[in-house]
Amino acid sequence: MNLNNLTLTDNLAATFPTTCAVSVMSLTSDDFIVDPAFNGTGNNNMLAAGNDLPVGDKGAVLLTVNVANCGTGQTDFVNTATTTGTAPDGTVVTDVSVDGSDPDGVDGDNNPDEESGTPVSIAPNPVIGLAKRNVKTELLADGSANVTFEFNLENFGNVNLNNLTLIDDLAATFPTTCAVTVMSLTSDDFIVDPAFNGTGNNNMLAAGNDLPVGDKGCGTADGERGRLWHWSDRLCEYGYDDGHSA
């Protein structure tokens, strides 16, 4: 039977304590008409009047909220929602949400009898990743070599990262018999420090760089975002028993 008078309620005040400030940032759906007045703290029905759900049909709603100013230690919460619909004979059916994207849960029996809260954690988890690649080494006629390094950074955590540094100690890589010169240092995403030399001033990034959540460098050879090119001219002398060098 088709279901009319659909409701979809989410009591955000029951999920987040009064010490938290909860704001609805976005409420959208491609399948239902949403109520733009929904706030989850009094007006708890996300759907406007007049929504229905035909037999075998389904739909989705996307809600984004901002949670701020929670008390110390208040980082983990559990949220549930409830939906109701009215059959043609006036019967009202209801279901409490199950965690995940399938209303039938995980058993696939076409009986949506599972109920479980959806966990929410706002505990900060800062994680940064770095990869370094030798793009190419070009041997020159004078016996030196141009070496191109690529550095890819990625924010794997759930908080934005500020005050980025990217350290490369070239003096620790090449022995004192090598003369190392930085030929070029560039980035499409970060502000680099033109004074970087890798032999004392070892931070390639200038002050003020950040890396938002989920942001990263792409690491391709065509100069796309997040890549730092570092050319070094390696002038090494190799001693021979006869006292000559090459």
Domain positions in the chain are 4-121, 128-236
What would the two tokens of residue 101 be?
Answer: 């994207």
> Per-residue pLDDT for 224 more than 60?
no
Q: 């996300």: which residue's tokens?
A: 46
- Contacts with 136 (C-beta within 8 Å, 6 or more apart), sequence order: 147, 148
- 38-88, pLDDT tens digit by residue? 999 999 999 999 999 999 999 999 999 999 999 989 999 999 999 999 999
Closest residue by Cα to residue 23 from 61, 62, 64: 64
Q: In this predicted structure, what is the pLDDT of residue 217?
A: 54
pLDDT at 206 over 60: yes
Residue that wins the pLDDT comparison between 178 and 238: 178
Better pLDDT: 239 or 111: 111
